[in-house]
Amino acid sequence: MQPLAERLRPKNLDEYIGQKHLVGPQAVLRKMIDSGNISSFILWGPPGVGKTTLARIIAVQLERPFYTLSAVNSGVKDVREIIEKAKNSQFFNTKTPILFIDEIHRFSKSQQDSLLGAVENGTFILIGATTENPSFEVISPLLSRCQVYVLQPLEVPDLEELLERALTMDVELKKRNIEVKEKGSLFRFSGGDARKLLNIIELVVNAEEEDMTVVITDAKVTERLQQNPMAYDKDGEMHYDIISAFIKSIRGSDPDGAVYWLSRMVSGGEDPKFIARRLLISASEDIGLANPNALLLANACFETVHKLGWPESRIALSETAIYLASSPKSNSAYMAINDALSIVEETGNLPVPLHLRNAPTKLMKQLNYGKDYKYAHNFENNFVEQDFLPQKIKGRSIWKPQNNASEFKLKEFLNKLWKHRY
């Protein structure tokens, strides 16, 4: 049996829910579709708001051949094969086919380059779908040949309409006695994602015996989602709970916990770049100066994720998560910048001491800018004691080294210079 989301997939614009700014009466896409003349465009929006569905509806309504590729598992060879197929299907008065590319932001530059000629000469009309900003993820020559239309998360009235349609029109759900007492958790966990809302409904209904009345409450929805390890929510509370558990496992030096929560995100289809960014933050905030190599590895992981995407990225993410969890921990850099910001908030814009000021003009030199500054490299060990803080906070301690081997060496070196200041 097909999932509920597939059974309820709209087949025309009248059944399509949401995106009134694009497909409502007199809206830009609606006008283009009604005219029968469409040009290449990219649909940018979060998951589950109807990008793929809209592309299919357009192809059906305009009676155009429809080819589809997923950037996750398609390469340049697949693109070339589709181009040849589109060329070979063109006969006198044949309508230009549509090529729909899901997750086009995951196409590499060479893959995107391979589309250019066919888009330019009208071999097909390109419709791309992306959850990422096309300005950063789609090459400029291709982007300049496409309009970009932004799709928004479904709002509560849209979700209400979708829920009502599911309960009254789906063949399978109509067989069940379903009572919706509360909708708050349904809508909150769906995060404006139509597919997610339908999946949650199906999960709750299927968990009950067929001859029982299904009573949907906020508590029951929350309970069912927590019991289902695959019900990962990239926009709602579970998303933040799982990333929190992931980071806290790294901070707590538990590689097993880190990899487990990483696997939950991988299984749930989390954006690998989001995970990589969190690892960069963790390397700076939680490991910091106790192991400066952690930030280097996290940055290399971030670059690797950008080049690879799923599924290969999971290996680099796992390697980095394990390394960070296994590293000594220090938040001294994190605490230092926070303390410094507090001092700035407390004291305002204190003047830069004259000897530290730049003096590019004669007037500035006459005003004693840069006077008495001591150039460290002119002194023994490339160091000379002088003040680097404003007079009002002179002698105030900001960075406090913590008890780990790496920072002990830094502290030892600084105290030789500064006579136990640190």
CATH topology of domain 237-326: Zinc Finger, Delta Prime; domain 3 (1.20.272)
CATH topology of domain 156-227: Helicase, Ruva Protein; domain 3 (1.10.8)
Nearest to 400 by CA among 422, 417, 382, 380: 422
**DSSP per residue over 94-148, as a string?**
PPPPEEEEETGGGS-HHHHHHHHHHHHTTSSEEEEEESS-HHHHS-HHHHTTSEE
pLDDT at 290: 86
CATH entry 3.40.640.10 includes domain 19-150: no
* pTM for this model (two decimals): 0.55
Number of H helices and E strands in the chain, helices first, is 20, 7
Q: pLDDT of 157-179, one tens digit each?
A: 999 999 999 999 988 888 888 88
pLDDT at 232: 47
Do 237-326 and 19-150 have the same topology in CATH?
Answer: no
pLDDT at 160: 92
Q: pLDDT of 1-36, one tens digit each?
A: 788 888 989 888 888 999 999 998 888 999 888 888
pLDDT at 41: 93
| Buried residues in 397-415 as b, exposed as e (16+ CB within 10 A) | eebebbebebbeeebeebe
pLDDT, averaged in runs of 10, over the chain (422 residues): 86 89 89 88 88 91 87 76 79 80 83 84 88 83 89 91 91 87 86 86 85 85 69 54 86 88 80 88 90 92 82 87 91 87 84 81 79 85 85 84 83 82 71
Please give the C-alpha separations between residue 314 and each of 18, 256, 285, 391, in angstroms, as whole numbers: 34, 15, 22, 51
Q: Give domain 349-418's CATH number out of 1.10.8, 1.10.3470, 1.10.3710, 1.10.357.
A: 1.10.3710
* Domain limits, the chain: 19-150, 156-227, 237-326, 349-418
